[in-house]
A and B are shown apart, each in its own frame.
Chain A
Amino acid sequence: MKNHEISEVIKVGKAQVLVYELKVEAAMTTDVITINPQDTIEQVREILKEHKISGLPVVEGDQLAGIISIEDLIESLLEGKMKERVGEKMMRDVVTLHSDEPLVRAINEFGRYRYGRFPVIDRKSKKIIGILTKGDIIRCLLKRLQSNHYEDELRRYRAGHLFEDIVSDQSALVLKYNLEGVSFERAGEGSSRLKKNLLRLGIHPDVARRITIASYEAEMNMVIFCQGGELIATIGPQCVTVNAVDKGPGIPDVERAMQPGYSTAEDWVRELGFGAGMGLPNIKNCSDEMNIDTKVGHGTNVQFRILTKK
């Protein structure tokens, strides 16, 4: 139930994806202020005050030896032991993070222990190369969210003007998605990427949806029966034509394949909810024109056209 924990820590939509993608090194502070075991608690007080921080990694040679925090300082102050060596007072069992770990692990560790900071260690050299606080994580996420949003907006604006900006007697934009060897889990990515581009090009969402559904069905067919293929969308000012081309087994009886409910899919495919025998009929229903060009043993081209301006 790991995912439940994460969604409790950060409930900000895209941030959830980012914590999987971003590494600890992207968020950590690299300018680490450290102290030696031989230094005194009095010196810890000065450093914490000067840099407005609440804890310090203790370093001996170039290796992490422990950590000392403001709580330790308060204790020493109450006991009147400000001249005590850091090495005697510090906590030795330090929980650390590796710089190449995903941020989500760091978030889990902050949840598990109640520490304010984790030293970050380089996996190879074992040296301390950074320090990570909750504040570092929040700053990093906010920065990434902001820049992602800005890039999206910019791209949408540029693409929307494509057909206005390019003047010719006939213009068409060809988008090709290579689905060769695409695994079952990743199937659907081609049509999903196509949909985003159609929307960026200013195609009406209802029309884009029909193109996407038909493309998705074609893509699933290619992945289930043919180990992939190519999805080629030709986007013109009046219509979008999609060719789903594969070198698979071909369709022996097209008329039967077009009948709703007829399927040759294997059991494991059906268990995942595919193979209902509705793929080709769905493509037909979504499109204004559909053609199947197939040869047994050679491959199939499912072509469909959808008008974008009526």
Chain B
Amino acid sequence: MKLQKVVQELNLTVMTGESLLEREVNGGYAGDLLSDVLANARVGNLWITLHTHPNIVAVASSKDLAAIIIVNGRTPEADTLRKAEEERIPILISSSSTYIVVCKLAELGIR
């Protein structure tokens, strides 16, 4: 499934990477421990987190993740957005919690 479809279905706000939404999503990883994500997320995954600081971009970029979904409607810091543009990482915001986001992704068939 393409990112664009995920954005539509989950009603996500696209903060960065508007031009990168054609990418295929092959699964996801939810977690707020950065090393855990680095170790266990897979290339092309969506990452669901509550962090908003610039280091999330470094993690996503290191791992070539498809996008970051920030939960609970949190707003990323300006630095985070700047880095995300530089590193070409889409940052998407959901007003829902991690649990709800994961449930909705599962309903869409993203496992």
Closest-by-CB residue of A relative to B64 is: A209
Chain B contacts for A273, CB-based, 8 A:
32-34, 49, 51, 55
Q: In chain A between 1 and 51, which residues have their CB closer than 8 angstroms to a CB of chain B?
A: 1, 3-4, 7, 11-14, 16-17, 20
Cα A273 to Cα B53 in complex, Å, equals 10
Q: A13-B17, A185-B79, A217-B35 are in contact. Are A212 and B62 (CB under 8 A)?
A: yes
Chain B contacts for A277, CB-based, 8 A:
35
CB distance from A175 to the nearest CB of B (A): 17
User: Once the chains bind, are A3 and B43 in contact (CB under 8 Å)?
Assistant: no
Cα A274 to Cα B33 in complex, Å, equals 6
Q: Is B59 an interface residue (CB 8 A)?
A: yes
Classify chain A's interface size: 35 or more
Q: In chain B between 22 and 46, which residues have their CB closer than 8 angstroms to a CB of chain A?
A: 32-36, 38-39, 43
Contact of B55 among A3, A13, A272 (CB under 8 A): A272
User: In the complex, which of the residues B36, B39, B63 has the most CB atoms of chain A within 10 Å of its own CB atom?
Assistant: B39
Q: A185-B53, A273-B33 are in contact. Are A3 and B75 (CB under 8 A)?
A: yes
Contact of B39 among A11, A274, A285 (CB under 8 A): A285
Closest-by-CB residue of A relative to B87 is: A192
Q: Is A213 an interface residue (CB 8 A)?
A: yes
B interface size (C-beta, 8 A): 38
Chain B contacts for A276, CB-based, 8 A:
33-36
User: Once the chains bind, are B19 and A12 in contact (CB under 8 Å)?
Assistant: yes
CB distance from A290 to the nearest CB of B (A): 15
Cα A285 to Cα B18 in complex, Å, equals 34
Cα A286 to Cα B35 in complex, Å, equals 12
Q: A191-B62, A192-B61 are in contact. Are A209 and B15 (CB under 8 A)?
A: no
CB distance from B49 to the nearest CB of A (A): 8
Cα A309 to Cα B32 in complex, Å, equals 34
Cα A187 to Cα B55 in complex, Å, equals 7
Chain A contacts for B57, CB-based, 8 A:
188
User: Once the chains bind, are A7 and B18 in contact (CB under 8 Å)?
Assistant: yes
Cα A186 to Cα B80 in complex, Å, equals 10
Cα A20 to Cα B81 in complex, Å, equals 11
User: Once the chains bind, are A217 and B15 in contact (CB under 8 Å)?
Assistant: no
User: Once the chains bind, are A282 and B75 in contact (CB under 8 Å)?
Assistant: no
Q: Is A279 an interface residue (CB 8 A)?
A: yes
Cα A277 to Cα B35 in complex, Å, equals 8
Q: Is B106 an interface residue (CB 8 A)?
A: no
Q: In chain B between 52 and 111, which residues have their CB closer than 8 angstroms to a CB of chain A?
A: 53-55, 57-59, 61-64, 75-76, 78-79, 81-82, 85-88
Q: Is B10 an interface residue (CB 8 A)?
A: no
A selection of 12 A-B contacts at a CB cut-off of 8 Å is A1-B75, A4-B15, A11-B18, A12-B19, A13-B88, A17-B82, A188-B59, A213-B38, A213-B63, A217-B35, A274-B34, A277-B35
Please give 11 more A-B residue pairs, beta carbons under 8 A apart, in addition to A3-B76, A12-B19, A274-B34: A4-B13, A7-B14, A189-B58, A191-B62, A192-B61, A195-B61, A216-B58, A220-B55, A272-B51, A273-B51, A282-B39
Binding site for A on B (CB under 8 A): 13-20, 32-36, 38-39, 43, 49, 51, 53-55, 57-59, 61-64, 75-76, 78-79, 81-82, 85-88
